[in-house]
Amino acid sequence: TVFYKTLNDLGWKIVFEIPESSINKPIRQLSDTFIWIFGISLLFMSLTVFILTGRIIDHPVKAILREIKEIGDRSFDQEVSRELVQRTDEFGLIGKSLDEMKQQLKQSNEKLEHSLRENVDSQKQLILQNQILTERETQMYHSLKYAHSLMEAIPDTVFVISQDGVFLDCIGDLDHLFFKRERFIGKNITEVMPQSIAAKGRELIDQVFLTGENQKIEYEWTTARITEYHELRIVKWFDDKAIAIARNITETHNYIKEIEEISYHDHITGLHNRRYFDQASKELNQSGNYPISVIFADLNGLKMVNDSFGHEYGDYMLKRFAVILADSGKKGELISRVGGDEFAIILRRTERGETDRYIRKLKEKCAGETINGIELSVSFGYHIIEEFGMPIQKAVKLAEDEMYQNKLYEASSRRSKTIDIILNTLHEKNPREEQHSQRVAEICETMVKQMGMPDSDINKIKAAGLLHDIGKIGIQEEVLNKPGVLTEDEYKEVKKHSEIGYRILNTSPNMSEIAEIVLCHHERWDGKGYPKGRSKTDIPLFARIITIADAYDAMTSDRSYRKALPAAYAKNELIKGSGKQFDPELVEFFVNHMKGLN
């Protein structure tokens, strides 16, 4: 290869000849170098482009793809990359759009989640309400079933009635009705019930719908066969319906009538009692009944008869007097037993003279009645109400006061006579008791004479000795006359005789001191006696004397279970009991001074 260079200034041309190989080799080397450098540069440029592309294109694209994925995953909490949003190129626009979209979706999602939560809460509430409704429906079902069963079981009939009084339905016991179901369903109450009952029923139905208050009526239903009593209760149900509950109360009605009958009558005599008298007497105290005669009567000696012979005899006395009163034949009279032995009688339009004749007739009838030899004796008093103004109770009190005055006049002789009758009755039941009482009275009389007591005391202790066992009239005859030893129960009954004797004698005022002696004649010096457990000088002197005389005669007399014991043995037993059962001074006096006793 030839190269030349012209040198203008010199006009020279410089010619070079370089071998081709010398030229090609460097060129090739240069070319190879250039190619390598170009390749390196290209690689570098490519790498630079790739890096720049990654920064310019790949990063925003990945960011966009990531945001799109988050949107797809409904992850709205992370904001769009600020680097992407702040770009000024198209990627920045896309980033902003994605950011707005993400914010909108976030808000929408929050609203949706809120709505979902509300829906879930609402659904829970609905489920809960549904459960409650289901439970209530179940309860209602059981309640209705129970109510229906109850209605079927109770002895009532339940009607559904319209506001117009038409029977719409019924349930319950229909057996007590006087007509079949088909005869009244769809019918008006006025078409089915008797006129008087229907009118009252219509009135009650109107009251129920007018006031809303429950109404009740009791009525009598009579057929050719029987008479029954019913109760009807009416309750408002709906605005145009009512519930009517009918119950057959015949049994209850009759029971109440029976109770009233019992409550107004005395169970012993069958006469009206005080409760009835107080009510009925007020009704009698009115115009047309004057003059009204109010009579008060008292059965004498009832307590004494009860204590002496037993309450069955006292009840018999009450019944006999009640029969006499009932047979008195006075029309329109009111007769009542107002107390234990007290009776009240009211006679309408009865003058004083007629009242006196009425009482005299009653006394004559009573005189012909005796109970165990005791005459039926009654004391009377009365007061006349001439005109309106005086209460019946005041007239009763005035009649009672007069009766008690009359009773005092008759009392003394009657009581003494009654005590004699009781004593005679006892002696008739047990003659041995009469002999025993007489011997005790004689021993007491002798002893107090030896003690130098006055005649009044001698008479008193002699009477007490005769009466000391009068209370045995209240003891069963088979116990008094039992041949063997008494049982514990029989002995307890016998021990009551001192108290019975006290009650009998104490009814008479002039017998009160003797009654006290009789009460205490089984007391002991050591306080182990009966009935009060008195001791020493707390026991009346005459009672202590009778105790010694009673024990001595019991030992020295024949008994149903043994023969009489010797007097010496009896006195020795008294000495053994001195200071225990007996007053030691009286025992000493008895042993030393009572020489003539058998």
579 in the same domain as 449: yes
Separation between Cα atoms, residue 553 and residue 530, nearest integer Å: 20
Q: In the prediction, which pLDDT does 353 show?
A: 87
Residue 8 lies inside a defined structural domain of this protein: no
Q: Which of 81-90, 285-294, 347-356, 386-395 has the highest mean pLDDT?
A: 347-356
- Regarding whether 572 and 446 lie in a shared domain, the answer is yes
Q: Which tens digit of pLDDT belongs to each residue from 549-567?
A: 999 998 988 776 678 888 8
CATH of the domain at 214: 3.30.450.20
Task: Provide the residue count of the chain.
Answer: 598
Flag the least confident range among 17-31, 451-465, 466-480.
Answer: 17-31
Distance between CA atoms of residues 504 and 247, nearest Å: 57
Residue that is written with structure tokens 């009705």 in the block: 177
Mean pLDDT of the chain, nearest integer: 78
The residue out of 77, 111, 146 marking a domain boundary is: 146
Q: How far is CA 549 from the centre of its chain?
A: 59
Q: Assign residue 387 the CATH number of its domain.
A: 3.30.70.270
The segment with the largest mean pLDDT, out of 45-49, 469-473, 507-511, 551-555, is 551-555
Q: Is the pLDDT score of 341 beyond 70?
A: yes
pLDDT higher than 60, residue 38: no
Instruction: Report which DSSP code applies to 280.
Output: H
Q: Are residue 410 and residue 306 in the same domain, yes or no? A: yes
Comparing CA positions, the residue from 503, 491, 497, 504 lying closest to residue 475 is: 497
Cβ-proximal residues to 445 (8 Å cutoff; 6+ apart), any chain:
458, 461, 462, 465
> Which residues lie below 8 Å from residue 485, measured CB to CB, with a gap of 6+?
561
Which of these three, 254, 280, 295, is where a domain ends?
254
Q: For residues 519 and 585, state if they share a domain.
A: yes
Q: Within this chain, do residues 171 and 215 fall inside the same structural domain, yes or no?
A: yes
Question: Which has more confidence, 420 or 563?
Answer: 563
Largest CA distance in the chain: 225
pLDDT value at position 64? 67
d(CA 550, CA 525): 15
Beta carbons within 8 Å of 35's beta carbon, 6+ residues apart: none
Residue 381 lies in a domain: yes
Domain that holds residue 27: 16-146
- Give the Cα separation of 147 and 357 in Å (integer): 69
The helix/strand/coil state of 395 is helix
Residue 17 pLDDT > 70, yes or no?
A: no
Q: Mutual orientation of helices 512-520 and 497-506 as an angle, nearest 10°?
A: 180
Helix (H) or strand (E) holding 5: strand 2-7
For residue 476, the model assigns a pLDDT of 80
For residue 580, tell me if it sits in a domain.
Answer: yes
- Would you list the DSSP string of 40-57? HHHHHHHHHHHHHHIIII
Stretch (H or E) spanning 159:
strand 156-162
Tokens standing for 566?
């010797």
Rounded to a whole number of angstroms, the distance between the first and last alpha carbons of the chain is: 210
| Whether residue 459 is found in the same domain as residue 556 | yes
pLDDT digits (tens, 9 = 90+) for 421-433: 677 777 777 778 8
Residues 440 and 350 reside in one and the same domain: no
Domain count within the chain: 4
**Residues 288, 393 share a domain:** yes
Residue range 73-82: average pLDDT?
A: 63
> 265 pairs with which residues across the strands?
272
Please check the confidence at residue 364 and state whether its pLDDT lies above 80: yes
Split at pLDDT 50, 70, 90, the class of 580 is: very high
Short-list 515, 534, 517, CA closest to 525 = 534
- The Cα 195–Cα 522 span in angstroms is 79
Residue 21 pLDDT exceeds 80: no
pLDDT exceeds 80 at position 250: no
How does residue 447 score in pLDDT terms, banded at 50, 70 and 90?
very high
440 and 575 assigned to the same domain: yes
CB neighbours of residue 206 within 10 Å? 13
Contacts of 432 (CB under 8 A, 6+ apart): none
Task: Judge whether 378 and 358 are in contact, CB under 8 Å.
Answer: no
CA angle 259, 262, 266 (to 5 degrees): 165
Q: State how far the Cα of 441 lies from the Cα of 421, in Å rounded to an integer.
A: 19
The verdict on 488 and 588 lying in the same domain is yes
7: left (phi over 0), alpha (psi -120 to 50) or beta: beta
Q: Model confidence over 205-230: pLDDT tens digits?
A: 888 888 888 888 887 877 667 788 88
- Evaluate whether residue 374 is within a structural domain: yes
Are 364 and 443 members of one domain? no
Q: Position of tokens 């079933």?
A: 145
Reduce the secondary structure of 571-595 to three states and give it as a string.
Answer: HHHHHHCECCCECHHHHHHHHHHCC
491 bridge partner residues: none
C-alpha pair distances (Å), 263 with each of 271, 276, 393, 400, 419:
11, 8, 20, 24, 36
539 pLDDT band, cuts 50/70/90, is very high
Q: Is residue 92 part of a domain?
A: yes
519 contacts 505 by C-beta, under 8 angstroms: no
169: tokens are: 């339905």
Of 365, 384, 418, the position where a domain reaches its end is: 418
Q: Which CATH number covers residue 458?
A: 1.10.3210.10
Q: Tell me, what's the pLDDT at 261?
A: 67
User: Measuring CA to CA, which residue among 536, 532, 529, 533 is closest to residue 584?
Assistant: 536
pLDDT at residue 574 tops 70: yes
Residue owning tokens 């002496």: 308
Task: Indicate the pLDDT class of residue 547, thresholds 50, 70 and 90.
Answer: very high
Greatest mean pLDDT range, 21-35, 85-99, 304-318, 538-552: 538-552
The C-alpha atoms of residue 30 and residue 37 are separated, in whole angstroms, by 10
* One domain for residues 436 and 562: yes
The whole-number average pLDDT for the span 555-580 is: 87
Instruction: Using the predicted structure, report yes or no on whether residue 5 has a pLDDT greater than 70.
Output: no
3-state secondary structure of 491: helix
The values of phi and psi at residue 557, to 5°, are: -115, 155
Residue 11 lies in a domain: no
Residue 51 confidence (pLDDT) above 80: no
The two tokens of residue 297 are 């009567």
